[in-house]
Structure 1
């Protein structure tokens, strides 16, 4: 029997530096979403937008949002993944949480902080990659700028699904489209990209382009609208692709420092 993973991509606009308003808006969207989903994917910094002023956000907002994610995961009986500003030990991180329906939580701190915007000056970079085993699928979640660095995403653990959450602006959207497809093809895995939509308070526009690519680079769903779109991922598809095309056997061996 083929194992399936139903994923929901939440492509949404965001209120600038307003966690309470963003949680309320997402509450409404998720309440209205009645399709079956095993995994719900939210954008990068989904409670604030991509701000370089984390000091404007109350220190306890990160923990409030984590509690909210646990509540939503339980209510929807689905894992929820997305990144937020998180404050810990006097430092800020762009931290991704993968929260399962039973409350089990895994974390990933963005490794490649976006130097063009000065993210490296205000957020500490992560050092560890995350692979989560969930419903028979191995899932590797990453954040936005990580997409530009294929070595960090190299499929050394035979994961099945690569996930990128992002605030990726309009002028460089061709790179987003192209690199997501490349990551799927070179790693022979599903690749999910969830971007925000709308504008922020520092003049950036975001066109969406949330998408799911299969292990051969075929797009299963694509959106430029403010909406939740869904796709069904097949474990058998990944197994068939890798059995027929054994390209991962020829991958380069390396040590990442």
Structure 2
């Protein structure tokens, strides 16, 4: 069990609806990451941008991108996570992969499809939350619009790290900043939000603001927040549990069952 977790996340301008170009882009960026990193985080729909053109772009779960993720995880001896457009059994999913260094993987389908962009008319929402155990850390990976729904993220499993991968537009970035901080505070965990930059084929502009917050809502990253960059940061479980044990806020959380 490791008390430290070294993470890296890549804030990038995605190529619109061009999976091969994006895999090449991230291959180059991943090669720049130090060998000490344990977990690499990629954006939402990192092979295509936030596209509703699922019929054209969807790939099977065990398609090119999963194989690429496995290759990169093995080469860096690190876990990798990010979401991709997947077609399966006549449905389309905004599906997050969490790929371990040994090639095994876990899946999470985005629960809250973004109705404003009619994502709900193209993609089927997920029904189950994912809690990943990796190097002694419990990790909850979620996707973009999920950020607006605190009940879905509620820390009932005592997870250590909450991750949001996103294509969150510039016009609502103030909400992104505020909600990431709030999710860290209310769940007494580290919270990582990774957004993209640039523009997409539907005319939306993205300005990043990727960040990491600690259990008290302090931002741990000091970045040029709107440009493309790679960030590496070390998370400390001792610090997390010292604060939790001192304040004990999670002991007073509401108890409830979520009905979907």
TM-score normalized by the length of structure 1: 0.97
For residues 166-215 of structure 1, what are the alpha-carbon distances to aligned partners after superposition, in whole Å with 9 as ceiling and x for unaligned? 00000000000000000000000000000011110111110001100011
What is residue 4 of structure 1 aligned with on the other side? 4
Match of 2:189 in 1: 189
Aligned Cα root-mean-square deviation (Å): 1.4
- Given that 1:185 and 1:217 are in contact with CA atoms closer than 8 Å, whether structure 2 keeps it comes out as yes
**Which residue of structure 1 aligns with residue 253 of structure 2?**
251
State the shift of 1:33 in Å: 2.5
Instruction: Work out the CA distance in 2 between the residues paired with 1:92 and 1:235.
Output: 37
Distance across 2 between alignment mates of 1:22 and 1:29: 10
Q: Unmatched 5+ residue regions in structure 2?
A: none
Find the aligned partners of 2:184 and 2:214 in 1 and give their Cα distance.
7
Secondary structure of 1:215's match? coil
Give the Cα separation in 1 of the matches to 2:58 and 2:106. Answer: 23
Distance 1:16 1:79 in 2: 25
Q: Which residue of 2 aligns with 1:68?
A: 68
1:1-257 alignment to 2 at 5 Å? 3-34=3-34, 36-57=36-57, 59-60=59-60, 63-221=63-221, 222=223, 223-257=225-259
Structure-1 separation of matches of 2:194 and 2:2: 25
1:95 CA displacement? 0.2
Aligned partners of 1:157, 1:13: CA distance in 2, in Å?
Answer: 34
Between 66-75 and 23-32, report the one with greater CA deviation: 23-32
Shift >6 Å, 4+ stretches = none
In 1: Cα distance, 2:30 partner to 2:253 partner: 40
How many correspondences in the alignment?
A: 257
Q: Distance in 1 between matches of 2:103 and 2:61?
A: 18
Output the TM-score relative to the length of structure 2: 0.96
Q: Does structure 2 retain, via aligned residues, the 8 Å contact 1:2–1:236?
A: no
